[in-house]
Structure 1
Amino acid sequence: MSAVPLPSEMKAAVLVGDAPELEIQHIPVPRPRAGEALVKIRSCGVCHTDLHVIKGEVGFPRPAVLGHEISGSVVALGAPADRPGGLAVGDDVVGAFIMPCTTCASCLRGRDDLCENFFAQNRLHGTLYDGESRLSTADGSFLAMYSMGGLAEFAVVPLSGLAGLQPGIEPVTAAVLGCAAFTAYGAVHRAGRVRSGESVAVVAVGGVGSGVVQLARAAGADPVIAVDIDEDKLAAARLMGATHVVNSRTTDARAAIQEICGGVDVAFEALGHPATFSQAVGLLGDGGRMVAIGIAAGQAKAEIEITPLVRRGYTVTGSFGARTREDLPAVVEAAAHGGFDAAGLVTRRFPLDDANEAYQALARGEITGRAVVVMD
């Protein structure tokens, strides 16, 4: 069902061949099937995980449309009438990168973040849960979807991966709620279980790390210590709520944090680099919890000193996103009531025609916070 006639084609940024670059193509506008919505994309976040795919550091089928955190409006719905969340044509929405199938064993126990079909179908093959992509090239051949394939003017999204956008949230920057904020929410409230008064360190304060700073502060953590090697990112983290900042290029981060609080209750690592992974563990106080968020390139491994892990009772856990059906509405709620500043996190905007340049800028380390690709 569509409220208005839909165009037959759209622009999309497509990853083709072996080159680490995106090119703008005109491809058919996809159509939603049962339990899906067609979203007219307003903006799509520029995430480091996409960059890993572009550079070939994370395997994914090509050609493909990347982009996995979006804001936009519903312009068509597939059958049947059962629509989770009561979404209707015309609703403004945000989409999370984890689009749960709702039927696998993990989804049935509420662990959307472990959805078996999401990883087996979408992340391995670039399809939705019937084994088919909703995208195709101009000649009708297969085009993979990374999540919903948000670097395009339209995207098909399972209804389970969408949440309505509340009034008062700036709609373009709201795209970052679907990954930067969503991933941070899962790390802070699910894996990290941050409680009021606990001390927190965030290692690497890009888009996701800055989100962790905000949500940890909103949860009552104190102190909240940002650790990075970039002064601009540290300055931005202070504006996002960090009580202390440490430049680990010029300062021994462990010594600095020992001086501040003697070791933190929870340390988050948001880059996925072996050195920062090990560094984050080293910032813990007795009984501390390290939450790994960053996706690593290839099969990277990190070293952890065994004896302190055992004797000091550390916990190391991974956190991949959050539980979409419960947590995406909670993220939107936090943004609506001041717990997450999406507009403050977004520092650059690129038109769709410049999507490739957006990721090249990210690769050069030029993006503080988050950038978004804007469709109009």
Structure 2
Amino acid sequence: HSDIHLFKGDFGPVREGFIPGHEISGWVEDFGPDVKNPWGLRKGDPVVVSWIVPDGICKYCASGKENYCPAAAGRMPGLVGINGGHAEYITIPEIAVIPLGKGVDIYYAAPIACAYGTAYHALREAGVGPGTGLVVIGAGGVGLSAIQLASAMGAYPIIAVDIRDFALEKAKELGATHVINSTKEDPISRIRDILPDGADVVHEARPEPDLKLSMEVVARAGTIVVTGLGGPKSTFTVNVLPFVINGVRIMGSLGYRPRLDLPEIIKLVASGKVDVRKLVSHTYVPEQINEAYENLERGLHARAIVKWG
């Protein structure tokens, strides 16, 4: 959904000729003269490309928080500053190139570079593990990835909330133990039936989070983690009393740490614990790119990929 924010100008003016596409997988074609190649990559090796390009030297990078590197704000392949993946060839700083290795289908690996990475980092930061009661609000690409990853992490129960039946069906396929269409039943009472004490973690994965439902269903001393970016003027309000007396933690989570989180996700995929092919609902060729983005804006995808070559 970040591409929609891009097209609407939420990230600022888009220069003419800019190439979008921020979830990228492909093969190494060549190396620049100053590349140090810490991964030992060779021509033809499969890789994913991070949309976060840290500088590797600031205090955030040094402390394992490279997703908050100030330099990365101005260079995000397919979003800001660096051309993206809707092309046959692209040039990318080496710090953003992560090897896929064996056991990962290159054509279905692209969502690792955003949807899975964003979900994984959010779940880790929120402390999701075996037995965590989890509610995921918004079963789009990131929300569905969170459900699949949380299932692999041992979370239980995993409750998905959305307004689209097809998205909830996909959520069940990916590991949700319960699904709720909030237009057809009261999500608060249903979640409280399943988790009387509330959810240990609530993941707000909607593009426009408002925290109203989250605050109603989070447990005492629970965590609400927000990955939906909203628009430039998006806000939310919280009732202070329950927030304080229940010790609720509300945290934003931006993307992931390219050199730390992406290799861990790739290991999960290579081991068979996470099947990235299950997330993809639509496949397009380059000639269908406009149709792909129209369907994206209409909310018709779980995740879609465009195959080049």
The residue that corresponds to 2:8 in the other structure is: 55
Query: Aligned partner of 2:208: which letter?
Result: H
Query: Could you say what secondary structure the match of 1:281 adopts?
Result: helix
Query: Aligned partner of 1:322: which letter?
Result: Y
The residue that corresponds to 2:212 in the other structure is: 278
The residue that corresponds to 2:183 in the other structure is: 249
TM-score (norm 2): 0.94
The residue that corresponds to 1:131 in the other structure is: none
Query: Aligned partner of 1:335: which letter?
Result: V
The residue that corresponds to 2:103 in the other structure is: 168
C-alpha RMSD over aligned residues: 1.6
Query: 1:306 Cα deviation (Å)?
Result: 1.2
The residue that corresponds to 1:370 in the other structure is: 303
Spell out, residue by residue over 1:208-254, the C-alpha distance to the aligned partner (whole angstroms, 9 max, x if none).
10000011111111000001011110010001000111111111111
- 2:232 aligned with 1:298: yes
**Contact 1:274 1:303 (C-alpha < 8 Å) held by counterparts:** no
**Where in structure 1 are there 5+ consecutive unaligned residues?**
1-47, 128-144
Larger Rg: 1
The residue that corresponds to 1:142 in the other structure is: none
Query: Alignment partner for residue 177 of structure 1, among 112, 116, 122?
Result: 112
Query: Aligned partner of 2:41: which letter?
Result: L
Query: Could you say what secondary structure the match of 2:6 adopts?
Result: helix
**Contact 2:53 2:75 (C-alpha < 8 Å) held by counterparts:** no
Query: 1:122 Cα deviation (Å)?
Result: 4.5
Q: How does 1:353-364 map to 2 (within 5 A)?
A: 353-364=287-298
**Contact 2:225 2:252 (C-alpha < 8 Å) held by counterparts:** yes
Query: Aligned partner of 1:312: which letter?
Result: N
The residue that corresponds to 2:193 in the other structure is: 259
Query: 1:121 Cα deviation (Å)?
Result: 4.7
**Contact 2:35 2:94 (C-alpha < 8 Å) held by counterparts:** no
Question: 1: CA distance between counterparts of 2:209 and 2:174?
Answer: 26
Query: 1:273 Cα deviation (Å)?
Result: 1.3
- 2:39 aligned with 1:104: no
The residue that corresponds to 2:160 in the other structure is: 226
**Contact 1:227 1:234 (C-alpha < 8 Å) held by counterparts:** yes
- 2:37 aligned with 1:72: no
Q: How does 1:113-124 map to 2 (within 5 A)?
A: 113-122=67-76
Question: 2: CA distance between counterparts of 1:362 and 1:122?
Answer: 20
Query: Could you say what secondary structure the match of 1:290 adopts?
Result: strand
Q: Which has the higher strand share?
A: 1
The residue that corresponds to 1:94 in the other structure is: 48
Query: Aligned partner of 2:225: which letter?
Result: V
User: In the superposition, relative to structure 1, how do residues 120 and 97 fare at CA in structure 2: closer, same or farther (>3 Å)?
Assistant: closer
**Contact 1:60 1:126 (C-alpha < 8 Å) held by counterparts:** no
Count of residue correspondences: 306
The residue that corresponds to 1:84 in the other structure is: 38
**Contact 1:184 1:211 (C-alpha < 8 Å) held by counterparts:** yes
Query: Aligned partner of 1:371: which letter?
Result: A
Spell out, residue by residue over 1:235-290, the C-alpha distance to the aligned partner (whole angstroms, 9 max, x if none).
10001000111111111111111100121000001113144x32223220111100
**Contact 1:181 1:340 (C-alpha < 8 Å) held by counterparts:** no
Question: 2: CA distance between counterparts of 1:319 and 1:332?
Answer: 20
